Protein backbone atom coordinates (compact mmCIF):
# COMPACT_ATOMS: atom_id res chain seq x y z
CA UNK A 1 0.00 0.00 0.00
CA UNK A 2 1.28 3.45 -0.92
CA UNK A 3 2.26 5.65 2.00
CA UNK A 4 -0.05 8.63 2.53
CA UNK A 5 1.82 11.91 2.31
CA UNK A 6 0.86 14.41 4.95
CA UNK A 7 1.21 18.09 5.65
CA UNK A 8 1.25 19.86 8.99
CA UNK A 9 -0.39 23.25 9.31
CA UNK A 10 0.22 25.81 12.05
CA UNK A 11 -2.98 27.77 12.55
CA UNK A 12 -3.41 31.06 14.34
CA UNK A 13 -6.81 31.47 15.94
CA UNK A 14 -8.07 35.01 16.26
CA UNK A 15 -11.00 35.32 18.66
CA UNK A 16 -12.06 36.49 22.07
CA UNK A 17 -11.52 33.86 24.74
CA UNK A 18 -10.01 30.46 24.17
CA UNK A 19 -12.05 27.53 22.86
CA UNK A 20 -11.24 24.02 23.95
CA UNK A 21 -9.37 21.68 21.62
CA UNK A 22 -12.60 19.78 21.03
CA UNK A 23 -14.54 22.93 20.08
CA UNK A 24 -11.76 23.98 17.72
CA UNK A 25 -11.63 20.63 15.95
CA UNK A 26 -15.44 20.46 15.75
CA UNK A 27 -15.39 23.84 13.97
CA UNK A 28 -12.76 22.59 11.54
CA UNK A 29 -14.68 19.40 10.78
CA UNK A 30 -17.93 21.36 10.39
CA UNK A 31 -16.33 23.75 7.89
CA UNK A 32 -14.82 20.92 5.82
CA UNK A 33 -18.05 18.92 5.93
CA UNK A 34 -20.12 21.93 4.86
CA UNK A 35 -17.96 22.49 1.81
CA UNK A 36 -17.06 18.95 0.76
CA UNK A 37 -19.59 16.71 2.45
CA UNK A 38 -18.92 13.77 4.72
CA UNK A 39 -17.05 11.72 2.14
CA UNK A 40 -14.82 14.65 1.24
CA UNK A 41 -14.17 15.42 4.91
CA UNK A 42 -13.23 11.81 5.62
CA UNK A 43 -10.54 11.98 2.92
CA UNK A 44 -8.79 14.96 4.50
CA UNK A 45 -7.40 12.96 7.44
CA UNK A 46 -7.62 15.98 9.73
CA UNK A 47 -6.14 15.54 13.20
CA UNK A 48 -5.04 17.87 15.95
CA UNK A 49 -1.34 17.50 16.76
CA UNK A 50 -0.64 20.19 19.31
CA UNK A 51 -2.14 23.25 20.86
CA UNK A 52 -0.51 26.35 22.35
CA UNK A 53 -3.21 28.06 24.41
CA UNK A 54 -1.08 31.06 25.25
CA UNK A 55 -0.37 32.04 21.65
CA UNK A 56 -3.60 30.48 20.32
CA UNK A 57 -1.63 28.41 17.82
CA UNK A 58 -2.97 25.02 16.78
CA UNK A 59 -1.05 22.47 14.76
CA UNK A 60 -3.18 20.15 12.65
CA UNK A 61 -2.37 17.38 10.20
CA UNK A 62 -3.96 16.80 6.83
CA UNK A 63 -3.28 14.64 3.82
CA UNK A 64 -1.28 16.33 1.05
CA UNK A 65 -3.89 15.72 -1.65
CA UNK A 66 -6.61 17.42 0.34
CA UNK A 67 -4.49 20.36 1.50
CA UNK A 68 -6.08 22.91 -0.90
CA UNK A 69 -9.54 21.80 0.22
CA UNK A 70 -8.59 22.12 3.89
CA UNK A 71 -7.06 25.55 3.38
CA UNK A 72 -10.18 26.75 1.55
CA UNK A 73 -12.37 25.40 4.34
CA UNK A 74 -10.25 27.15 6.98
CA UNK A 75 -10.72 30.46 5.19
CA UNK A 76 -14.50 30.13 5.38
CA UNK A 77 -14.56 29.81 9.18
CA UNK A 78 -16.14 32.86 10.80
CA UNK A 79 -16.78 31.60 14.31
CA UNK A 80 -15.70 29.06 16.91
CA UNK A 81 -18.22 27.84 19.50
CA UNK A 82 -20.59 30.72 18.87
CA UNK A 83 -17.97 33.46 19.04
CA UNK A 84 -16.70 35.45 16.08
CA UNK A 85 -13.33 34.10 15.03
CA UNK A 86 -10.99 33.74 12.11
CA UNK A 87 -8.24 31.25 11.42
CA UNK A 88 -5.03 32.14 9.62
CA UNK A 89 -2.49 29.67 8.28
CA UNK A 90 0.93 30.58 9.70
CA UNK A 91 2.98 27.82 8.10
CA UNK A 92 2.66 24.57 6.20
CA UNK A 93 5.30 21.88 6.32
CA UNK A 94 5.94 18.24 5.58
CA UNK A 95 7.51 17.53 8.96
CA UNK A 96 6.75 18.71 12.44
CA UNK A 97 10.41 19.55 13.01
CA UNK A 98 10.46 21.97 10.08
CA UNK A 99 7.08 23.41 11.04
CA UNK A 100 8.18 24.25 14.58
CA UNK A 101 11.47 25.68 13.38
CA UNK A 102 9.44 27.94 11.03
CA UNK A 103 7.27 29.09 13.90
CA UNK A 104 10.09 30.14 16.21
Footprint of another protein (CB under 8 A): 14, 34-35, 68-69, 71-72, 74-76, 78, 84-86, 88-89
Residue 49 CB, shortest distance to another protein, in Å, is 20
Shortest Cβ 73–another protein spacing (Å): 9
Smallest distance, another protein to C-beta of residue 54, A: 19
Count of CA atoms in the C-beta half-sphere (13 A) of 2: 4
- Tell me the sheet residues that pair with 37: none
Which is closer to another protein, CB of 6 or CB of 71? Answer: 71
Residue 35 or 48 with smaller CB distance to another protein: 35
What is the nearest approach in angstroms of another protein to the Cβ of residue 75?
5
Quickly count: other Cβ atoms within 10 Å of residue 44's Cβ. 22
The CB density around residue 55, as the number of other CB atoms within 10 Å, is 11
**34 vs 55, which CB is nearer to another protein?**
34
Phi-psi region of 82 (alpha: psi -120 to 50; beta: other; left: phi over 0): left
Q: Are 43 and 66 within 8 A, CB to CB?
A: yes
Nearer to another protein, 34 or 97 (CB): 34
Amino acid sequence: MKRVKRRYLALQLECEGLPSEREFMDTLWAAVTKLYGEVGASLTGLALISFDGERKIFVVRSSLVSLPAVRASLATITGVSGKTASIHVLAVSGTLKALFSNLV
